[in-house]
Chains A and B, each alone.
Chain A
Amino acid sequence: MPPRLLVLLLVLAAVKVAPLAAQVVPVAVERRLAERLDLGVGDTVRLGTAPDSLRRRAVVAAVYVPAADPTRLMRGELQVRLHLPDLAALLGAPDRVDRFGVMLAPGANPEEASRRFNASAFGYRAFPSAQVGAEASQTFVVVSRFHRAIGVISIVASAIFLLCIMLLKVEERRLDAAVMRFVGVRRRTIFLALLLEASVVALLGSLFGTVLAWLASLATNAWYRRFYDTALTFSAVTADIVLLGVGLSLALGLLAGAFAAARLVRTRPMVLWGRG
């Protein structure tokens, strides 16, 4: 929070009024609110703590874009910023704040400093920023857990799909395998050839899947940025995710290919030829 400004959360409590000359306080208005109320710099608004007590007149001194904050995303809150004394006067609570930030000297331990602050005075609680962040991000922890669970289900479905396709792909080679066996090609060579084919299919598939995921990620970000009018990143294809996806599909592809190829080379050539 900027030191001399405090965020006042408004739920459409600002009403545009005719410009007034005197007794107005400056206010900075978030862009979305300015657009919704058709406000510009120099316009005058009435502010209050409740919709039925909009008593303070304020002049729009600035229109700003707040830092992208995921915790506010779905709440649809709109902000204005006032100088702290102006807001305190509006709330009828002079010289009071909800909270303030403390920057420690380099190397100082935030947990230890919080403990010292809490032990030294009564009437407030000090928290390390990491703890505040962890508690504020509970919603995202839940969403991440949900995404992870959906991810596991998707991986299971993809794995079965891959196993199925690999099995079919290798079984398609029944006649080829029979001919190779008839002309004296060793079982091991056929097995390795089929395994190589399976790994190429798995590799190509996973690379294509990566490109598809990257495009889907671009589309997701474009859609949700527009939908929520924010600069936040909603989907990111990281190296870890690519490695996991490619590694998993390669491993599964090889496993399925090896299983199917082993079944094929164990079968008698006449059976493969369809005459056994």
Chain B
Amino acid sequence: MSPLWGLRNLARHPLRTVLAVLGITVASALLLDMVLLAGGLERSFERLVLSRGYQIRVTPKGTLPFDTEATIGPVTPLVTAIRRDPDVVAAGPILAVALHARHADSLLPLVGYGVDPAGQGSYDLLEGSDLAAADSAGLLVGRTAAEALGLSVGDSVRLVGRLDPQVATTGVQRTMVVRGVVRWLYDDRTMRSVGTLLPVMQRFAWPAGNDRASLLMVRARDDVLAASVVARLREAHPEVGVNSVTDLVGQFRERISYFRQVSVILGTISLAVTVLLIATILTITVNERLGEIATLRALGVARRTVVTQVLVEGAALTLAGGALGVLLGLGTARYLDTILTAFPGLPASISFFVPQRQGLVTAAALLLVTGTLAGVWPAWIAARAPIAATLRGEAP
């Protein structure tokens, strides 16, 4: 008996087969999207946090990076102490403050970052040069801020700090020169951000003597040493919060649990739809062909062969639908990603749907196994059909 018997049966009912494959395609596309969504955001966040190799964040106790306006201070002795750790290769403070820039006859609100170029993990230089260690007039601008203010490398801009809009007074005003255009890694798409040396930005935020920062980024010599560095820093500096990337990802995971739950529910429904579709089609097909199957059995075809053919038919439908589903799923994932990345405040480099080999393999394996198993019941019907009674019933 030809091994293609089951497949030929699919060709006998082209409309039915096309509809079944289409149904499996859409269901498997949804399954793939949900598998990508389940871990995509988490992986994307982890990739972002580790993008510059800094494995540890030191924050005000009880807070997450940039979660509140709380600051750490005095920050200079803290940075010095942390840099003394033999396993720490870099540590850099970051301060985020509200700032304004004079633009034409108005004031444009900005986010101002105070950084230490010797230990920074918050930007990538795109044009121009980085800030020098003593460059108190130098400024780094993000693309969005540069476009809003019409700035390029070498231009000057007047920055205003501690603005009191009610009485229109400013605490400090300084003219800064753009040294470089950068990409701020943690900015969302709409943020207009600029950066200066930390002491300069501290003066934009407070009167002299406020040695404070929003957080510190720390890079250990090796990823495997990060956990021991975290433990030592926690012990040495109990007044601040010390978080490894694993801690941050764990806390982030709690916040995005909604998406993981939605992906599990919708993924399960997709699998159920696939199973139902395949099981229904195969059951009806087998019932239609009971006479044919009984004849084959009467001619000596083994029960196992009949079962295999029905399972092959289910697997073929699943494979065809699944292959098309991967293409459709990747397309819809991109579309859904453009919807979800419009979340206000989300860093521009975060993605919700991150294609990964493991995710694709998981989705494919789940689909193939459940699709094939969906044929078990119809296969059992085919195998258990009483030969004599069926043939008598089929006789004209």
Contact = CB atoms under 8 A, between A and B. Distances in A.
Contacts of A122: 166, 168
A138 interface: yes
Interface residues of A, number: 37
Contacts of A51: 60-63, 70, 239
Contacts of B287: 172
A156 B15 CA distance: 17
Interface residues of B, number: 50
B273 A161 contact: yes
A74 B258 contact: yes
B15 A167 contact: yes
A10 B234 CA distance: 22
Contacts of B172: none
B33 to A, nearest CB: 8
Interface in A1-35: 9, 11-13
A189 to B, nearest CB: 24
A52 B239 contact: yes
B171 to A, nearest CB: 14
B30 A154 contact: yes
B369 to A, nearest CB: 20
B246 to A, nearest CB: 19
Given A11-B63, A52-B61, A138-B344, A124 B165 contact: yes
A157 B23 contact: yes
A125 to B, nearest CB: 9
A77 B158 CA distance: 36
A11 B339 contact: no
A165 B62 contact: no
Interface string A154-196: 1011101101110110011000000000000000000000000
Contact of B26 (A13, A145, A156): A156
Given A51-B62, A172-B287, 14 more contacts: A11-B63, A13-B62, A13-B70, A49-B70, A52-B60, A52-B61, A75-B255, A123-B167, A142-B339, A153-B26, A164-B16, A164-B277, A168-B16, A168-B280
Interface of A: 9, 11-13, 49-52, 74-76, 122-124, 138-139, 142, 145-146, 149-150, 153-154, 156-158, 160-161, 163-165, 167-168, 171-172, 227, 275
19 contacts: A9-B68, A13-B70, A52-B239, A74-B256, A75-B255, A122-B166, A124-B165, A124-B166, A138-B344, A146-B339, A149-B339, A150-B266, A153-B30, A154-B30, A157-B27, A164-B20, A164-B277, A167-B19, A168-B281
